[in-house]
A and B are shown apart, each in its own frame.
Chain A
Amino acid sequence: MMRVPEEVVGRGPEPLVQRGGPAADLLVRSVQVFDPGSGIDEARDVLVEGGVLSSLAAPGTIAPPEGVEEIDGTGKHLFPAFFDPHVHLRTPGQEYKEDIETGSRSAAAGGYAGILAMANTVPPVSSPADIEALRHRASNDAVIPVGFLATLSRDMEGRDLVDMAELREAGAVGFTDDGLPVTDAGLLRRALRYQRMCGGTIALHEEDPSLSAGGVMHEGEVSAVLGLRGIPSISESTMIARDADIAGYENGRIQVQHLSAAESVEAVRAARAAGVDIFAEVTPHHLCLDESCVRDLDPSRHKMNPPIRTAADREALIGALLDGTIDCIATDHAPHARQEKEVPFEAAAMGVTGLETAFSSLYTHLVLPGTVPLETVIEKLGCGGRAFDIEPFAVVEESPANFTLVDLEAEWVVGEDGYESRSENSWCAGERLTGRVLMTVANGQVAWRLRSFSLGVA
């Protein structure tokens, strides 16, 4: 059996790392292949040999070569695998919440074949040695290719720049103080200027702490009723406007993370109109929920930063997804242990998990009601690497197999069978969703299968 090399994908110091493993030999028979990027939407036999997608042929026409597992894809869909540029793997330091193995498995279970890990670990990822150690760990533990960002400021203290060039040489995909905003405009300016020399997209958690001021949810009607400190939308949008101006001035590239507010959408539109090299993310939970959900005061599902905002904000985000203002859907998968969430709302940790439910939640909340076409969801879940020069996966012959097999009819209850993630703070825990990932092939390896599906009963 052929082995896939440990370090794969991309260029320069390979941006993504995956553990070595057996290459897939599979024939998915008569499956509906839907790859909007390649313009395919029809039933095909899909043959994978030695991890490479070797043939896409009319259904029932491929004779299975010897030793190839045959899977009946009738009634199922095969999409190009997804890519999430915003995941918290919690390694090093908080492995009780998540680690590279559980986090990457959680991603594979959601149909992802690539993720980027944030740097706000304990300690933060600030040195080339940190990046090298993580990449080494990933080459043993990551079931799908994983890339790592470094912090932007040393130890995330918001004062001094990290050694950006050396970190790039060590394999840092980009730079981010995510979890915290870069409040010092001068620091961001220097980072963007230095970026001209060494590259590395800067991903920004946009929040003005003097405006968010200890807030725990969106500032508005619901916070007024519940007596919870509010985080106003302007705490995000004013920082986006500031940072876009700085990026424009320095001709740098930024990715603004997890957009939550209508005002932020406007700020991104204005920046792009002004020619700024800006990319924007949105999370599934911001696309699917509005602030009324917080009335249940359940921090495990509904406390995160930025917070869920109003129905009008949600509409604006959906509009921005449809018109291209928002480039990609990123989960901001943020695992927390039960004891950090099983406390009153104000005292609980910020963040929710989202990898395993991203597709299903979007399909249930946006595609089935007719709000967003399936095509858009597939595209936006797929192109999260673009800001980092990582192209979306495609279902085309003679390329490494990166796809996910999905049953669009299947219904399931989130958390009913547990989670692949080590944490259970899913924002849609207990919800019945439609559409389920059955199998994910990542860079030519079978990274995940639904247990019932692997037994052939799905």
Chain B
Amino acid sequence: MKNLLSISDLTLDDLTAILDRAESFAEVSRREIKKVPTLRGKTVVTLFYESSTRTSSSFELAAKRLSADVMSVKAGGSSVEKGESLRDTVETLSAYGPAAIVIRHPNAGAAGMLTQWVDASVVNAGDGMHQHPSQALLDLFTLRTRIGSIDGLKIWIVGDVLHSRVARSNIEAFQMMGAEVTVAGPPTLIPREIEKLGCKVEFSLERMEEADVVYLLRMQSERMEGNFIPSVREYARLFQINEQRLGPRQLVMHPGPVNRGVEIASEIVDSDRSLISDQVESGLAVRMAILYELLAGRPVEGGEGPSDPLPTIGAPA
């Protein structure tokens, strides 16, 4: 695997390999010295054209924990503001010989375009409303860690599906792992023909009790042109996940950032049915696994891998 652009580029084996790898990195994160030398001497560039807290910080930290040199570029305050094109910016950064470029961009397909211009591995950290594969992977990891298996789970994705790259990645990823996916929300926030992806569509939460997991999406008002819903108040009344709507055995996930009191009631965020902070924690291990898979690669078939692929820095060789 050279690049991570979209969940649909991955096989079930690829998914499983990353999740298994993430488990060993989760173990590393519990060590006193949380760093391994795997990517020593390699450079990872993170290039963010959109604001981000979770994704950018966890990719940066993941690269550092793997001992890579990390260079973080944000569109604000860079030559992007002076009108430099994506291609020119990327080729400029390529001159430093990065092993990987992690990019977030407001337009679909931006990460894919990079692969035509650079030799580095490209990791899509979110492209427009298209894909956010590392989010889907960390969500799978979170669920697998909590429940054991995703196969056969009923997962409801609730909210602003129309503007969500997370929804598009997760519908595919959940289904690949054997889950049954339903998307629910007001009809104006559910894209036409989304059912062609194999999911069911609901315009109310009446039948949500069947769900094992409720995956909430934030209202992406920054991507909306015009009024997609009459009011946030009405939305919250019809679709907010709160104590009345969430059963005792149902789990809640959310990619963040959370808008308390809109798509989710505050008490649910803080309840033990919420996996939201688990998701953040998983993000680090999964992003370490992604960088490892792309840059350190799997051992050659039949050949011998390193005896200990994850020695702690400073440990005797």
Residue numbers of A with Cβ under 8 A of B are: 213-214, 219-221, 223-228, 230, 297, 339, 342-347
Chain B residues numbered 92-110 whose CB sits less than 8 Å from any CB in chain A: 105-110
Closest residue on chain B to residue A298 by CB atoms: B109
A342 and B87 contact, CB distance less than 8 A: yes
- Complex CA–CA separation, A54 to B127 (angstroms): 62
Stretch of B189-197, B203-211, B239-247 that contacts chain A: B189-197
Of the residues A220, A297, A345, contact of B192 by C-beta under 8 Å: A220
- Complex CA–CA separation, A345 to B86 (angstroms): 12
- Report A-chain residues with C-beta under 8 Å of the C-beta of B85: 339, 342-343
- Complex CA–CA separation, A347 to B110 (angstroms): 10
Given that A297-B108, A345-B107 are contacting pairs, would A224 and B192 also be in contact in the complex, using a CB cutoff of 8 Å? yes
Q: Is B225 an interface residue when CB atoms closer than 8 A count as contact? A: yes
A224-B196, A228-B129, A342-B85 are known contacts; what are 11 more A-B pairs with Cβ within 8 Å? Answer: A213-B225, A213-B226, A219-B192, A225-B168, A228-B130, A342-B87, A343-B85, A344-B107, A344-B110, A345-B107, A345-B108
- Complex CA–CA separation, A225 to B167 (angstroms): 10
Closest chain A CB from B226 CB (angstroms): 7
Residue numbers of B with Cβ under 8 A of A are: 85-87, 105-110, 112-113, 127-131, 163-165, 168, 191-194, 196-197, 225-226
- Report B-chain residues with C-beta under 8 Å of the C-beta of A297: 108-109, 112-113
- Complex CA–CA separation, A347 to B129 (angstroms): 13
Given that A343-B85, A343-B86, A344-B86 are contacting pairs, would A227 and B192 also be in contact in the complex, using a CB cutoff of 8 Å? no
A224 and B191 contact, CB distance less than 8 A: yes
Closest residue on chain A to residue B109 by CB atoms: A297
Closest residue on chain A to residue B171 by CB atoms: A225
Of the residues B86, B87, B130, contact of A226 by C-beta under 8 Å: B130
- Complex CA–CA separation, A214 to B129 (angstroms): 14
A228 and B168 contact, CB distance less than 8 A: no
B109 and A344 contact, CB distance less than 8 A: yes
Closest chain B CB from A218 CB (angstroms): 11
Query: What are the nearest 5 A-B pairs in CB distance?
Result: A227-B129, A297-B109, A344-B107, A224-B191, A227-B130
Q: List 13 A-B contacts (CB under 8 A).
A: A219-B192, A221-B196, A224-B196, A224-B197, A226-B130, A227-B164, A297-B108, A297-B109, A342-B85, A343-B85, A345-B107, A346-B108, A347-B107
- Complex CA–CA separation, A335 to B129 (angstroms): 28
- Report A-chain residues with C-beta under 8 Å of the C-beta of B106: 346
- Report B-chain residues with C-beta under 8 Å of the C-beta of A221: 193, 196
Most chain A Cβ neighbours within 10 Å, of B130, B168, B226: B130
- Report A-chain residues with C-beta under 8 Å of the C-beta of B225: 213-214
- Complex CA–CA separation, A180 to B193 (angstroms): 28
- Complex CA–CA separation, A345 to B226 (angstroms): 22
- Complex CA–CA separation, A246 to B87 (angstroms): 47
Closest chain A CB from B227 CB (angstroms): 12
- Report A-chain residues with C-beta under 8 Å of the C-beta of B107: 343-347
- Complex CA–CA separation, A226 to B197 (angstroms): 11
- Complex CA–CA separation, A119 to B196 (angstroms): 41
- Report A-chain residues with C-beta under 8 Å of the C-beta of B194: 224
Of the residues A214, A227, A339, A344, contact of B105 by C-beta under 8 Å: A344
Closest chain B CB from A321 CB (angstroms): 27
A230 and B192 contact, CB distance less than 8 A: yes
Closest chain B CB from A227 CB (angstroms): 3
Closest chain B CB from A214 CB (angstroms): 5
B193 and A224 contact, CB distance less than 8 A: yes
- Report B-chain residues with C-beta under 8 Å of the C-beta of A225: 168, 196-197
Of the residues A219, A227, A230, A343, contact of B128 by C-beta under 8 Å: A227
Closest chain B CB from A127 CB (angstroms): 33
- Report B-chain residues with C-beta under 8 Å of the C-beta of A219: 192
Closest chain A CB from B10 CB (angstroms): 15
Closest chain B CB from A223 CB (angstroms): 7
- Report B-chain residues with C-beta under 8 Å of the C-beta of A220: 192-193
